[in-house]
Chains A and B, each alone.
Chain A
Amino acid sequence: AQKITQTQPGMFVQEKEAVTLDCTYDTSDQSYGLFWYKQPSSGEMIFLIYQGSYDEQNATEGRYSLNFQKARKSANLVISASQLGDSAMYFCAMRGRGNEKLTFGTGTRLTIIP
């Protein structure tokens, strides 16, 4: 079984500051994928970034980077230079090897303050 823990229910961040959203995971799989999604109030889940368990380098996608610490089983999302449009719910998720579902955390509501 897989488990994702997001310990920050909500965060308030000043515009243009960097923000780190925490995510820890638990799995017995050796091969797995970690994902971050953004969900604005409209409801659509927007894929942000992916990290494979065997990737040696941290994933980056524009202003998003994933701080992957395998030994600590953490996969924190870092958003640089936050913008007002970054205000949304953010979900960390993982998927094991083989035919398995995505397991989601409870999410972090991020609010960017002008």
Chain B
Amino acid sequence: KAGVTQTPRYLIKTRGQQVTLSCSPISGHRSVSWYQQTPGQGLQFLFEYFSETQRNKGNFPGRFSGRQFSNSRSEMNVSTLELGDSALYLCASSPRLGSGAETQYFGPGTRLLVL
């Protein structure tokens, strides 16, 4: 079974631009979560989607948004990019909506550099 895939793997943008990242979960997984990883803040939760609905949201500004499609694929969008948005963005999928027993499987990440 194929793992979680994320595209693109690397991105360079300039301040003020917007960016869209894509995530395809493991086949049959319906929950997709997004995380931001930076050296200073570590791993921080962005949001979780299940059945095309956002179920949980982290403490990020409204510039960060996402959506999920009927095939469970997900996209996240960051508008008006800032230098501090430079990070590794990780997508994770699990079969069902989150609970203590649900393991999340991660993709390879998208490295975003904002200049």
Binding site for B on A (CB under 8 A): 29, 31-33, 35, 37, 42-47, 50, 52-53, 91, 94-104, 106-107
Contacts and interface: CB of A to CB of B under 8 A. Distances in A.
Closest 7 CB pairs of A and B: A33-B100, A45-B106, A101-B45, A104-B43, A43-B109, A44-B108, A32-B100
A101 B33 contact: yes
Contact of B100 (A45, A52, A104, A107): A52
A53 B92 CA distance: 22
B105 interface: yes
Contacts of A35: 103-104
A45 B45 contact: no
B56 A43 contact: no
B33 A102 contact: yes
A73 to B, nearest CB: 15
Interface of B: 33, 35, 42-43, 45, 48, 55-56, 58, 88, 90, 92, 97-109, 111
Contacts of B111: 43
A100 B106 CA distance: 16
Given A31-B100, A50-B101, A95-B104, 9 more contacts: A32-B100, A43-B111, A44-B107, A45-B109, A47-B103, A91-B43, A101-B45, A102-B104, A104-B43
A99 B106 contact: no
A108 B99 CA distance: 25
A32 B102 CA distance: 10
Contacts of B103: 33, 35, 47, 50
